[in-house]
Amino acid sequence: MTEILVQTAAKGVGDHVDGRVVDHPAWPELKSAVEDVRPWQSKDGSIDFEAEGAPTRATAERAVGRMISAVLALAPLLPHDAAYHEALTADLRRWADDGFRVPDFLDSLLAFQPAARREDGLQHLVLFPMYTQNGNPDRNFEAVVLRMVWPEWLAELERTRYDNPLFCGITFEDFTAGYDTNSAVLFPETIAVREAPERFTWGGIFCDREAARFRRVTEAAVDILGVSLPADVRAMLADQDRCQEAFVLWDMVHDRTHSHGDLPFDPFMIKQRQPFWMYGLEELRCDLTAFKEAVKLESDGVTQARDVQYAVLFDRMFRFPVTGERVRNYDGLGGQLLFAYLHKHDVVRWTDNELRIDWERAPQVTNQLCAEIEKLYRDGIDRPKLVHWLAGYELVSTYLSPHPGSRWAKGPDALDTSLPPRKLVDEVLPDEFPLSMFYEALSKKLKAVIASTKGITAGSGVEQVAA
């Protein structure tokens, strides 16, 4: 294996003087090699050479050699990641030398430290065996070229108000197939390693993808629902850069909120076993905290703050509830709850097939919902886990109708409370809070638009909102 790799790397891929990684001839070579390897990999990232369609070991070694060669050719463009690229090529060699078993890229993961140098526009080349959240569930190799989003105004807010040293706002330059999906995050938790590190030191969110799909879905929803938009909202939706700024601020505040306040959650909540409405409340709490902080920032003259408020309202109300499957869809549930709360407090009204929004009252009532969730958390400190879950269910079911067949809706007398709480999660229906008639109608009309946002980036061509 070592001989093949040395021979392959020695050939090189030509000199290149341009600083953009994606313009270097080694980048398409790396993508090609990765795309060759991905179909050979099993769910855990290993290669089963006895499986149908599997390559020979020599063929797999040559493909990994091409990956190493490309990384070596691209590395000079990224001197700030030298330690990572050195560890990465060593991990690739070891994977091949060990017979392509379950990959272990802990050494390269520990060497990759993007949050240690947050500079606006700084490039990174990332290559790991990993699954992509809301994308590919298998630990296949993925290669991504990205840029850091860290303008001075954001850095100042992080320094002075929203300390979040692990957060990385990022944008796509290019990517392999696992990111030609709905995934908009780069998380270290998804990477194949022999053991989880003591702590993770970074987390990245692609604000360009979030902004692009927000614009496309909101444009369609506004047209379908006949929403009358203020001029500044219309201008925002027509501006990709402005939306990206809103999302990177929203994401930074959202991300830190998971570990702040009463009863802080593990940010990687899927590892916990709780009823999915508790995940929905947590995600909504973080979004509404970002909304609440944006209201404060607006009064302090922060330009992006009002845009954050529009982004939270529209993305939560229009895209989240009708995106994805209806199986434990906690993000969708949070969006349903926000809309229902605003509707019952007469901030939004759906009449004559048109949605009317009381823009003046929206901030006050949205912050009111945030306060109700915060009170639930604060009271939860003094409750047993099952009682807390039931209180969360009561809050949600005050505004959303549970499925008529739900056992949880019938209260604790319908549940076997002698069981541990985690066992009662099995009694939760996959779609405990079905879509309302409003969302049933909206879902049918937005289905194709939402499907079209798969793999979207800033350069995908988002149409402007009609005047």
Q: Smallest Cα–Cα separation from 319: which of 242, 405, 225, 186? A: 225
pLDDT of residue 151: 98
pLDDT of residue 13 exceeding 50: no
Angstrom distance (rounded) from CA 339 to CA 400: 10
pLDDT of residue 111 exceeding 60: yes
pLDDT of residue 272: 60
Amino acid present at 347: V
Number of Cβ within a 10 Å radius of residue 314: 24
**pLDDT band with cut points at 50, 70 and 90 for residue 326:** very high
- Alpha carbon 156 to chain centroid, angstroms: 24
Q: Which residues pair with 191 in a beta bridge?
A: 130
Tell me the range of 1-5, 16-20, 192-196, 263-267 where mean pLDDT is highest.
192-196
Average confidence (pLDDT) over 332-351: 98
pLDDT of residue 262: 86
pLDDT of residue 325: 93
pLDDT of residue 305 exceeding 70: yes
pLDDT of residue 264: 66
pLDDT of residue 114: 98
Angstrom distance (rounded) from CA 422 to CA 274: 7
Domain coordinates in residue numbering, the chain: 2-201, 209-451
pLDDT of residue 271: 55
**pLDDT band with cut points at 50, 70 and 90 for residue 263:** confident
322-to-205, 310, 318, 438 alpha-carbon distances in Å:
21, 18, 7, 11
- According to DSSP, residue 404 is labeled T
Q: Smallest Cα–Cα separation from 458: which of 263, 240, 258? A: 240
- Size (the chain), residues: 467
pLDDT of residue 2 exceeding 80: no
Angstrom distance (rounded) from CA 170 to CA 203: 10
**pLDDT band with cut points at 50, 70 and 90 for residue 268:** very low
Who's near 76: CB < 8 A, 6+ residues apart? none
pLDDT of residue 130: 98
pLDDT of residue 465: 38
Residue given tokens 């809103």 in the structure block: 246
pLDDT, tens digit, for every residue of 193-212?
999 999 999 999 999 999 99
**pLDDT band with cut points at 50, 70 and 90 for residue 261:** confident
pLDDT of residue 161: 97
Angstrom distance (rounded) from CA 299 to CA 303: 10
Average confidence (pLDDT) over 327-334: 95
Average confidence (pLDDT) over 407-432: 96
Q: Smallest Cα–Cα separation from 6: which of 85, 64, 84? A: 64
**pLDDT band with cut points at 50, 70 and 90 for residue 12:** very low
pLDDT of residue 106: 98
pLDDT of residue 266: 54
Number of H helices, E strands in the chain: 16, 7
Flag whether the pTM goes above 0.85: yes
- Alpha carbon 241 to chain centroid, angstroms: 19
